[in-house]
Amino acid sequence: MARYVDGYVIPMQKKKVKAYLRMAKMGARMWKEHGALAYSECVGEDLSVPFGMGFRKMARLKAGETVVFSWIVYRSRAHRDKVNAAVMKDPRMNDPAMKDQMPFDLKRFAMGGFEVLVAW
């Protein structure tokens, strides 16, 4: 079965992870209610890598920051587009209080859509 994934890398201050967790739980509920197959949010724990760039360098983390690595799974890109359109229309997503309390800098938020090459 074909799959499609939206992936996210979100640098944020470690002290704001709890506030982000509240938003992530709400996001998980919304995306699943609107049809996403899976929703995962992970916070950086071991960001020291022996080779390659690593998330710390890639995200240009500052002192006191970590990175959240997240992904949402869909049946296809068309399914992703349908689910995301429904989520964006959901009143919970457009709550002004939530936007005012964003626990990360949207200018440093990275995302993209990916076709799955290997899944097991």
Domains and CATH numbers, the chain: 4-115 (3.30.70.100)
Q: How confident is the model at residue 1 (pLDDT cuts 50, 70, 90)?
A: low
Q: Looking at this protein, which amino acid is placed at residue 44?
A: G
Q: Report d(CA 23, CA 102) in Å as an integer.
A: 9
* Average pLDDT value for residue range 22-45: 96
Is the per-residue pLDDT at 33 higher than 70?
Answer: yes
10 Å CB burial of residue 35 (0-12, 13-18, 19+) is middle
Per-residue pLDDT tens over the stretch 36-89 = 999 999 999 999 889 899 999 999 999 999 999 999 999 999 999 999 999 999
Q: What share of the chain is helix, strand, coil (3-state, %, to 5)?
A: 40, 25, 30
Which residue blocks in 9-113 are alpha helix, DSSP H?
Answer: 17-33, 54-58, 77-89, 96-100
Q: What is the pLDDT of residue 119?
A: 85
Q: What is the pLDDT of residue 100?
A: 75
